[in-house]
């Protein structure tokens, strides 16, 4: 949940020629990335992603950025720049475009291909502007330059935002793999050149700021996958992000080398890999009879001839792998199956992932994951690479982005070690406004920035109070107490009738609390209290005190007062 920062008020008017940065997601959390830049009365947005729910948000499907800070200014938005096509950077785009459909979406070929496919499901046809690494594009008072970065998805970009207030380099998510599978290196030369020209503010990915050293190359995984395939004598199920084209490529190459067919499992996996194949980012190895088969056909093949590539590496409850683990999927896990979790743990997902791993092992599967084999390398730069970028760019000001508070602080410490003055290092959180004026970045205020919950078809209707109620219901259950009172006198006519679900209290025990309710209602009637809301609160307090005194529990108590 976003921190309120009571010490900060609304930001003052932006000085002429200044640049305002308003993070609406991704700072203080991993996910929901969205940053708004304001200059000369115009707005530029970088990324618009979602955060996935955790155990504290039961029933929630997605968590969106809070658009309220710019709700009445959407006509001033020049463009929405998408650094890459991961859900935590593009997942909320459909919800923003519902408010204004003609915001131009700016991104690379694969990024735009995947977002078009997503938006088609929402019946939205977007305006798109395709850009490439090394390209430039003007949008109102913002002049943009794009740089290649490698990440755990092809075609990722960093963006330099040039205005009269100065130059901001936003890295997006990146790492510095020196042997990437697609041979597309992070443009260190471009970063160095921009640094030599002068970068007023560097906004850089902080996810792995606590991890020392340099990143392991994606190519190191191929040999490990081959060893796992050699050791498997039944089905192999590989779970990874539905957008991780490189990992799917490696699995397909390994499957072809070991004489196995491949089937894709999960709607988003099928959709994304179809787009990647059509655009030339996924090359399906040529084998007799074809490598990729439909899931229906895969079920008829011998177990030692099939590989399933599935979603669900983060333990998402409705994903294919989680449903297999809970026996709620057409694919039934059998003893001897090998399951490979080819991803790292997103912070907050640990419990869900370990639950899936335990369920799979209980069903007899061998589970291979990052903890026991090199089947995944991170898509984010560790501390050694972050230092490298800081030293190349030599920014006047630094603002860590994309990470929990501990990641932001660790990255800020790295910046200080490279010589960025302490007063020029700004650690902000969602909703905290940073202004770049006269070459100096500083926090100037805050805007409202809460969580917007998607639950089924409802967007924003579920509140924190609703979630608190759900958590209480899940932890403590509920007790309902129904009474019938005379509308004139307030005296009890019938009841109390008491029922409980999930409270752990036997209903026969409520014989002890009924007299307490009757006494409380009688006293209220004697005092002339006959208003139903007041009587309901009286019942709630009476039952709540009794439960707490006798059971040390705090179930939800629902009083129902009927007047006759």
Domain segments of the chain as ranges: 19-213+378-455, 220-368, 464-563
Domain 19-213+378-455 fold is Metallo-beta-lactamase; Chain A (3.60.15)
Burial class (CB in 10 A: 0-12, 13-18, 19+), 28: buried
Going across the sheet that includes 556-563, the strands are 492-501, 478-485, 556-563
Give the pLDDT confidence score for residue 300 in this predicted structure: 86
Structure token pair of residue 99: 């408010």
Closest among 309, 267, 313 to 284, alpha carbons compared: 309
The radius of gyration computed from the CA coordinates of the chain, to the nearest angstrom, equals: 28
pTM summary value = 0.83
Compute the distance between CA of residue 266 and CA of residue 309 in angstroms, rounded to an integer: 9
Domains 220-368 and 464-563 share a fold: no
Q: What is the pLDDT of residue 3?
A: 53
DSSP string, 442-510: EEEEE-----EEEETTEES-S-HHHHHHHHHHHHH-EEEEEEEE-TTT--EEEEEEEEEESS---GGGG
Q: Which of 84, 68, 65 is nearest to 27 (CA)?
A: 65
CB atoms within 10 A of CB 378: 17
Please say whether the beta carbons of 81 and 107 come within 8 A.
yes
What's the confidence (pLDDT) of residue 314?
66
- Pairing mode, strands 261-265 and 492-501: unpaired
pLDDT at 2: 45
Per-residue b or e along 120-145, where b marks 16 or more CB atoms closer than 10 Å to that residue's CB: eeeeeebebeebebeeebebbbbebb
546: left (phi over 0), alpha (psi -120 to 50) or beta: alpha
329 vs 288: CA distance, rounded Å: 30
Which portions of the chain are predicted below pLDDT 50? 1-2
DSSP secondary structure code for residue 286 in this structure: P
H or E element at residue 44: strand 42-46
For tokens 């200080």, name the residue.
416
Of the candidate CATH numbers 3.10.20.580, 1.10.3660.10, 3.40.50.720, 3.30.1370.160, the domain formed by 464-563 belongs to 3.10.20.580
Beta strand 338-341 with 366-368 is parallel
Residue-wise over 352-373: b if at least 16 C-beta within 10 A, else e?
bbeebbebbeebebbbbbbeeb
Please identify which residue in the block is written with the tokens 């209980």.
362
C-alpha 439/C-alpha 397 separation (Å) is: 8
pLDDT in tens, 531-540: 888 888 888 8
CB 385 within 8 A of CB 175: yes
Q: What are phi and psi of 107, to 5 degrees?
A: -175, 180
Q: From the CB of residue 153, how many other CB atoms can be counted at a distance below 10 Å? A: 24
What integer pLDDT is reported at residue 346 of this predicted model? Answer: 66
CATH class as words, domain 220-368: alpha beta
Query: CA–CA distance from 455 to each of 60, 254, 288, 348, 474 (Å)?
Result: 5, 39, 46, 19, 17
Residue 512, token pair as written in the block: 């002890």
Contact 538, 524 (CB under 8 A): yes
């Amino acid at each position: 949940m976003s921190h309120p920062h009571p010490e900060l008020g609304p930001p003052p008017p932006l000085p002429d020629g200044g640049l305002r940065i308003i993070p609406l997601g991704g700072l203080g959390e991993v996910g929901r990335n969205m940053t708004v830049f304001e200059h000369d009365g115009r707005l530029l947005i970088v990324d618009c992603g979602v955060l996935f729910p955790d155990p504290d948000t039961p029933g929630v499907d997605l968590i969106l950025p809070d658009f309220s800070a710019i709700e009445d200014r959407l006509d001033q938005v020049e463009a929405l720049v998408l650094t890459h096509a991961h859900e935590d950077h593009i997942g909320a785009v459909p919800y923003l475009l519902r408010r204004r459909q003609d915001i131009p979406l700016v991104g690379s070929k694969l990024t735009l291909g995947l977002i078009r496919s997503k938006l088609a499901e929402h019946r939205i046809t977007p305006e798109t502007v395709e850009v490439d690494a090394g390209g430039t594009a003007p949008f109102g008072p913002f002049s943009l330059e794009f740089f290649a970065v490698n990440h755990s998805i092809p075609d990722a970009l960093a963006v330099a935002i040039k205005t009269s207030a100065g130059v901001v380099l936003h890295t997006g998510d990146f790492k510095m793999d020196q042997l990437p599978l697609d041979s597309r290196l992070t443009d260190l030369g471009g970063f160095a050149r921009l640094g030599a020209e002068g970068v007023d503010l560097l906004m850089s990915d902080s996810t792995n700021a606590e991890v020392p050293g340099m990143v392991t190359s994606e190519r190191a995984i191929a040999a490990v996958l081959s060893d796992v395939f050699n050791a498997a004598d039944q089905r192999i199920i590989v779970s990874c992000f539905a957008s991780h084209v490189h990992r799917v490529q490696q699995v397909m190459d390994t499957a072809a080398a070991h004489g196995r067919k491949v089937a894709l499992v999960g709607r988003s996996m099928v959709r994304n890999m179809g787009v990647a194949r059509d655009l030339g980012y996924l090359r399906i190895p040529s084998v007799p009879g074809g490598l990729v088969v439909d899931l229906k056909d895969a079920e008829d093949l011998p177990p030692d001839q099939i590989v399933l590539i599935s979603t669900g590496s983060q333990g998402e409850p409705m994903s294919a792998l989680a449903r297999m683990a809970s026996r709620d999927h057409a694919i039934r896990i059998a003893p001897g199956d090998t399951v490979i979790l080819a991803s790292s743990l997103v912070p907050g997902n640990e419990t869900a992932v370990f639950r899936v791993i335990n369920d799979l092992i209980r069903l007899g599967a061998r589970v291979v994951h990052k903890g026991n084999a090199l089947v995944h390398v991170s898509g984010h730069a560790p501390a050694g690479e972050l230092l490298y970028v800081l030293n190349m760019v030599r920014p006047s000001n630094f603002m860590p982005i994309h990470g929990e508070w501990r990641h932001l602080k660790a990255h800020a410490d790295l910046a200080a070690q490279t010589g960025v003055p302490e007063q020029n290092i700004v650690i902000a959180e969602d909703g905290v406004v940073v202004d770049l004026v006269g070459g100096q970045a500083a926090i100037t205020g805050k805007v409202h920035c809460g969580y917007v919950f998607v639950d089924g078809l409802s967007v924003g209707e579920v509140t924190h109070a609703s979630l608190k109620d759900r958590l209480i219901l899940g932890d403590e259950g509920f007790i309902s107490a129904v009474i019938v009172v005379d509308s004139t006198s307030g005296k009890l006519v019938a009841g109390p009738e008491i029922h409980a679900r999930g409270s752990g209290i036997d209903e026969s025990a409520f014989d002890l609390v009924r007299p307490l309710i009757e006494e409380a209602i009688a006293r209220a009637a004697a005092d002339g209290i006959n208003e139903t809301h007041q009587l309901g609160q009286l019942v709630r307090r009476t039952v709540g005190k009794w439960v707490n005194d006798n059971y040390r529990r705090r179930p939800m108590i629902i009083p129902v007062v009927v007047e006759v």
